[in-house]
Amino acid sequence: MTAFRFIHCSDLHIDSPFKGLASQMPSLTDRLRESTFQAFHKIVKLALEEKVDAVLIAGDIFDGADRSLQAQLKFRRGLLELSQGGIPSFIVHGNHDPSNSWSHTLDWPESTTIFPVNKVERIPVIKNGETLAWIYGISYPQKEVNENLALKFKKDQEQGFAIGLLHTNVGQHPGHDNYAPCSLQDLISRDFDYWALGHIHEFKVLREDNPCIVYSGNTQARHLKETGPKGCCLVTLNSNAPANIRFMPTDVVSYRTAKVDVSGVSSINDVLKALQSQVEELAKESLTHEGLVIKLVLTGRTPMHNELQHPGVAKTLAEEINTFFNGHSPWIIIDLSTQTSGTYDIDSLKEAKDFVADLINLCEDDQDKQLENKVREAMKPVFESWAGRKYLDDFSTEETQAVILKARNLALDKLVNSEGS
């Protein structure tokens, strides 16, 4: 059987609004929106350079109601480039771009297959008269799909590789809506050669062979919860060798997070130097990107703690660092928060049998997540508001724990300082 080479990508979220820090900076809005188009252009360019046999897109090309005609036209332009290069494309709708949300007045290239809803269809990839593979796929009819779509796939062919194209949450992956849920065994039992999955915004190989089960991840991060490299998979299937899956970065703007330990630091100048040093290190690692968005967190026990907690100090320090790196390549923007503590000895305070010790232990021993749940409940009105739904993502466990730590430190500052005065 002839080898089959293809690109597997998903979750392009073209022209989607950026959340968090990015949404607050009008000067970056156009750059950030354009980065999702640029990431897709990189995929098209890679496909043409590598002369692949097909491009598979596993859903969420657009961002639901936020899609624009401009986005659809630019996407179609990329598909036309692929078609003119003799490369067919295969697409399924996901939860952000279900079938009922797309423009039905646009004509797509003849070599583009957009799989239907409700049933799985299979389309052959034929080259020089030989059937290299069959692509099986099914689309979302609407945003919320709770049915196990994997069970609808049935291998029905005599030659070529069998590829499943599906937007799904395998094994109830945390942090993502549990749409079209299925298990790993559901996919294995279909007897396919490769599962090209979408929905999870992280490159993950769930199974390396017989069959390969892969999330390509999203092509461009859109906020600080989507850190790490983003891109697509360049895949080669061969009947007499293991699958070759190469992750190919496509992101234009990189999102990073880092902690900056300022233990013992005793001046604002030294805090700024520590921040500059950390940013310079991250910038060296991101020279292939056009932009770098960084979330920095000050940590450690420091005599500067009280000063760093004053309203507006973190924002002012961030503005100073952003000004320092103005004109840098890649362009850089940082957000800054503080999780420092005073120079009091936490371990010694925990040993005492008093209210302060109880407070520390309560915050650190939250195994039943009572505090975490109370924080989430208290923040619910913010996230359920119109602005919250548009610009904010729900708190992750890590972010909720950071709120608890911040509250603990604020309480300790008051209690310990009042006892010492």
**Ordered domains of the chain (ranges, CATH):** 4-249 (3.60.21.10), 253-343 (no CATH), 352-421 (no CATH)
Name 359's bridge partners: none
Note the pLDDT of residue 277.
96
CA–CA dist 336, 318 (Å, integer):
6
Note the pLDDT of residue 341.
86
Name 340's bridge partners: 300
Q: What is the largest CA-CA distance in the chain?
A: 87
Helix and strand counts by DSSP (H, E) for the chain? 11, 15
CA–CA dist 145, 118 (Å, integer):
11
Task: Report helix, strand or coil for 189.
Answer: coil
CA–CA dist 207, 191 (Å, integer):
13
For 285, the token pair is 């690692």
Q: How big is the chain, counted in residues?
A: 421
Note the pLDDT of residue 238.
94
Cβ burial, residue 389 (10 Å; 0-12/13-18/19+): exposed
CA–CA dist 195, 211 (Å, integer):
7
Distance of alpha carbon 260 from its chain centroid, rounded?
A: 23
Note the pLDDT of residue 394.
61
Name 182's bridge partners: 170
Distance of alpha carbon 354 from its chain centroid, rounded?
A: 44
Which residue in 288, 246, 401, 276 sits closest to 339, CA to CA?
A: 401
Note the pLDDT of residue 314.
95
Per-residue pLDDT in tens (0 to 9) along the chain, 421 residues: 789 999 999 999 887 766 665 555 666 777 788 899 999 999 999 999 999 999 999 988 987 655 678 888 899 999 999 999 999 999 999 887 777 766 657 789 999 999 999 899 999 999 999 999 999 999 988 888 888 999 999 999 888 999 999 999 998 776 677 788 899 999 999 999 999 999 999 999 999 988 999 999 999 998 888 888 999 999 999 988 899 999 999 999 999 999 999 998 999 999 999 999 999 999 998 888 999 999 999 999 899 998 998 999 999 999 999 999 998 988 999 999 999 988 766 777 667 777 767 777 777 776 667 777 777 777 777 666 655 555 555 666 767 777 777 676 767 666 666 544 3
Q: Which residue has the tokens 């295969």?
A: 90
Taking 3-state DSSP, the helix, strand and coil percentages for the chain, each rounded to the nearest 5, stand at 35, 25, 40
Note the pLDDT of residue 386.
53
With beta carbons less than 8 A apart as the criterion, state whether 231 and 201 touch: no
With beta carbons less than 8 A apart as the criterion, state whether 318 and 298 touch: no
Q: Which amino acid is at 126?
A: I
Note the pLDDT of residue 421.
37
With beta carbons less than 8 A apart as the criterion, state whether 134 and 125 touch: yes
Q: Which residue has the tokens 């749940």?
A: 373
Phi, psi values for residue 136, rounded to 5°: -105, 135
With beta carbons less than 8 A apart as the criterion, state whether 199 and 145 touch: no
CA-based end-to-end distance of the chain = 81
With beta carbons less than 8 A apart as the criterion, state whether 367 and 397 touch: no
Helices 268-284 and 313-324 pack at an angle, to 10 degrees, of 50
CA–CA dist 203, 9 (Å, integer):
10
CA–CA dist 16, 63 (Å, integer):
5
Buried b (16+ CB within 10 A) or exposed e, 95-117: bbbbbebbeeeeebbebbbbbeb
Note the pLDDT of residue 237.
97
